[in-house]
Chain A
Amino acid sequence: MIRFEPRTRASLGLVVGARLAALGAAFLLAAIPLAVAGAPVGRAFLLILQGAGGTLFALTETLTRATPLIFTGLAAAVAFRARLFNIGAEGQLYAGALAAVAAGSGAIDAPAGILVPAVLGAAALAGAALMLVPTLLKARLGVDEVVTTLLLNFVVLLFIQMMLEGPFKDPMGGGWPQSEPVLDAAILPPLVERMRLHAGLLIGVAACLVAHVVVARTVFGLQVRAVGENANAAAYAGIPILRTMLLVGALSGALAGLAGASEVAGLKGYLTADLSRGFGYAGIVVAMVAGLQPLAVIPAAILVAGVFVGADTMSRTMGVSNYIADLIVALSLLCVLVGGLFVRFRVRFA
């Protein structure tokens, strides 16, 4: 018989080891569909590895892909900490991107030193504003935020499409539903010459560092942890639940909004309705793989991005559908959740 006994404490080695073992298990499981698709499994994995980090180009591509995932992953991690299940990072990302375009494509004419912060600020505000309504509904009326934030994603995407066909449509865009490009002064500068990697990565890493300090070292962070773990005890102790929840919701939305600004101002230069390749949803995986730890969001995002970028390369070379990337990411989430069980419990065979 198998029995689970709760562990009183888990060493860091165990936590990290369980994560790595979970990822290994995910790849092993992904070998099955690869083999079924007729690809030589070993070579496929090698191609994924090379495609994710084998060359400078591959590496910068992985980091470029990781940039929005750092923002959305952190958005999920911060909110989930307070038991606020924000599934709406995808919508908040687009809201942020729209605000970035609105602020950056000529409405404000200023040097980069002013325009870049203005664009980022507008995106953060838009993301935060979008998250405030579900948070308020949850805190005041108990409306399930999973449902509201998830459904808002579709509302926002339709709204974006409407804007791109209407007031935001680029008259010089040859009829394509895309916005006007942002001004040169609003562009986030590239980090490596002739590569797509841009300064958004640095902003994302800085956000993780700040979030880590806030959660671990400040009164607000302690309030967030208390509200998330036991809202009754927090309320009894006089912690303002509503204010804490609203702040967390706003922060989470703002971070997801920054992901949109970073994609627009750092990578694409303009807004289209296919700006995000599910970054908002992948951010949830990143947050879970990171164990909701802000600092761990960085490696987790790079890892998930690597799987996506590597699988793209592999699929182009071998003719296997690149859906295999989604499969690997989904499998790693499931394996990490199972792995968490082994961290929290000791398994005994009796």
Chain B
Amino acid sequence: MSPSPLVLRIDAVTKRFGALVANDAISLDLRRGEILALLGENGAGKTTLMNILFGHYVADEGTIEVADGDGGLRPLPPGSPGAALAAGVGMVHQHFALAESLTVLENVVLGTRTAWSPSLRLSEARAKLARLMEESGLSVDPGRRVGALTVGERQRVEILKVLYRGARILVLDEPTAVLTPGEAEGLFAVLRRLVSAGLSIVFISHKLGEVTAIADRVAVLRGGRKVADQSVAGASRAELAALMVGREVAPSRRMPRAPGAPLLVLEGVSVPGPGARPGLDAVSFSVREGEIVGVAGVSGNGQGALAALVAGTGPRPRGTATIDGRPLGATPRAVMRAGVGRIPEDRHHEGVVGSLDVAENLVLETLDSPEVHRLGFLRRRVIEERARAAIQAYDIRCPGPEAPIRLLSGGNIQKVILARVLDRDPRLVLANQPTRGLDVGAAGAVHRRLLEARERGTGVLLISEDLDELLSVCDRIGVMVRGRLTAPEPVEGLTLERLGLLMAGSGEERAA
């Protein structure tokens, strides 16, 4: 079989931002009916390259050619999103660009008609949209307001928008970052259908599992350069990870260790959920010294209520929750005094204050300690010295202790939070989705730190949607379904399949 024709050729594209070379002579080919994964860590240059393709940036050097209707390659005028759209390139960004107060149909039509055309011709559009949904398998009620849709549905609208404009090349920027595992599976099915209909897809990701599951070919970017371009068949995950990070990535190893005395003990704890969402329903389990207990489950099944309870930000529960035999407090200060270190789910929203610098964020939880202040005045020198030590010890990449933390990448912000939590020598660490959105290198650092804490005898409660993560670092794993938690089982007897079944709610026989 001869290879299918080229639809896109990126030739030696270079883009510099000041001294930083974001893309260094990158060349890429995309063929008809192919899914190409663009793999790389945060900051490797994936998004920059796609922004050049889509005309948001202008490349300093290099050219881009896109196939026209007859299959001949034509140069794409740089710096013009309109030209990219006209040439059949459509992009679905990580952050959606939808008008929430308009309906699905209106959002799809938006921008396809000139401002002074007398009618939107919605009925015509409705018919075309229905046909597109039929063909692609993407279904959303066209009459609903986008504001009322779930994240997964909004993503479908974004893809439909691109298809509606007749895109032949679809660029998806980290499309699964916002999806549950189930939704991601659905998306993959749609993508397979689209390529079999002749579409070509560029799939930007830093998740190895996805890349091997969905892509035909993978191009790996590292530090702005293309370091590999190969067929996915035959590529191992470890090999891809090494290419992406630039060194061998040792999987986090859990040393066998006998757990100690019970630390966090919940007995029949119930908390009402916010609105219609589940809270906690008679949850009982314990975390012992020197063990990592994982909580799996699709998000929104009560994990938030469990995390709030242990973090001291939730309402007072029914039932008993104790740490070291004493009742768990109901304020952040009380639980911190009891020895709980907390890694919040949303690091930007709850973890750090963006305009404060790294040093200030590091002491945010210990402002009343005499090491931080004298008579109410901040001991700036001591604080900065501690920050420098943390930057060194945790490999936090930042301009220095005085850099506002909003300038840091997600992984480095998470390292700051880790340093803040672990430097207090907590008895128990609550880690809520600690590696969400992080690349392989940063996620590995988080895992290593949690395992080191476990070695020292710290108990860890790890709430995560990433089953691979849970299976690799936890001693025991329980599953949350509709506010109930299955009794945590030793990881040795657990498989992905068993966890999947429990998550679907078939493990109702709640063993003690």
Chain A residues lying within 8 Å of B349, measured Cβ to Cβ, are 230, 232-233
CB nearest neighbor in A for B365:
A237
Hey, what's the 0/1 contact readout for B312-344 against A, CB within 8 Å counting as 1?
Answer: 110000000000000000011100100000101
Known contacts A217-B380, A223-B367, A236-B342; A8/B353 CB under 8 A: no
**Smallest CB separation, B316 vs chain A (Å):** 17
Query: In chain A between 201 and 234, which residues have their CB closer than 8 angstroms to a CB of chain B?
Result: 217-223, 225-226, 229-230, 232-234
Hey, what's the 0/1 contact readout for B341-382 against A, CB within 8 Å counting as 1?
Answer: 010100001111111100010001101100011001110100
Most chain-B CB neighbours within 10 Å: which of A218, A220, A232, A234? A232
Let me know if A238 and B353 touch, CB within 8 A.
no
> Given A220, A232, A237, which contacts B364 in the complex, CB threshold below 8 Å?
A237
Interface SS of chain A: helix
Chain B residues lying within 8 Å of A229, measured Cβ to Cβ, are 353-356
Let me know if B332 and A217 touch, CB within 8 A.
no
Hey, what's the 0/1 contact readout for A331-347 against B, CB within 8 Å counting as 1?
Answer: 00000000000000000
Let me know if B353 and A225 touch, CB within 8 A.
yes
Q: Does A350 contact B (CB under 8 A)?
A: yes
Known contacts A217-B380, A236-B344; A222/B367 CB under 8 A: yes
Q: What is B's interface to A at a CB cutoff of 8 Å? A: 58, 79, 311-313, 331-333, 336, 342, 344, 349-356, 360, 364-365, 367-368, 372-373, 376-378, 380, 407
> Given B351, B354, B378, B407, which contacts A236 in the complex, CB threshold below 8 Å?
B351
Chain A residues lying within 8 Å of B368, measured Cβ to Cβ, are 219
Chain B residues lying within 8 Å of A223, measured Cβ to Cβ, are 367
Let me know if B373 and A230 touch, CB within 8 A.
no
Let me know if A220 and B353 touch, CB within 8 A.
no
Known contacts A219-B367, A222-B360; A238/B331 CB under 8 A: yes
Q: Does A192 contact B (CB under 8 A)?
A: no
**Smallest CB separation, A240 vs chain B (Å):** 8
Known contacts A217-B377, A223-B367; A235/B313 CB under 8 A: yes
Known contacts A8-B407, A222-B378, A225-B356; A239/B364 CB under 8 A: yes
Q: What is A's interface to B at a CB cutoff of 8 Å? A: 8, 217-223, 225-226, 229-230, 232-239, 350
Once bound together, how far apart are the Cα atoms of A222 and B350, in whole Å? 16
Chain B residues lying within 8 Å of A226, measured Cβ to Cβ, are 353, 356, 360, 364
Let me know if B356 and A236 touch, CB within 8 A.
no
Let me know if A219 and B378 touch, CB within 8 A.
yes
Once bound together, how far apart are the Cα atoms of A8 and B354, in whole Å? 12
Once bound together, how far apart are the Cα atoms of A239 and B361, in whole Å? 12
> Given A219, A220, A238, which contacts B336 in the complex, CB threshold below 8 Å?
A238
Chain B residues lying within 8 Å of A222, measured Cβ to Cβ, are 356, 360, 367, 378
Let me know if B350 and A219 touch, CB within 8 A.
no
Chain B residues lying within 8 Å of A225, measured Cβ to Cβ, are 353, 355-356
Chain A residues lying within 8 Å of B79, measured Cβ to Cβ, are 350
CB nearest neighbor in B for A5:
B17
A-B contact pairs, 16 of them (CB 8 A): A8-B407, A217-B377, A218-B378, A219-B368, A219-B378, A221-B378, A223-B367, A226-B353, A229-B353, A230-B349, A230-B352, A233-B350, A233-B364, A236-B344, A238-B332, A238-B365
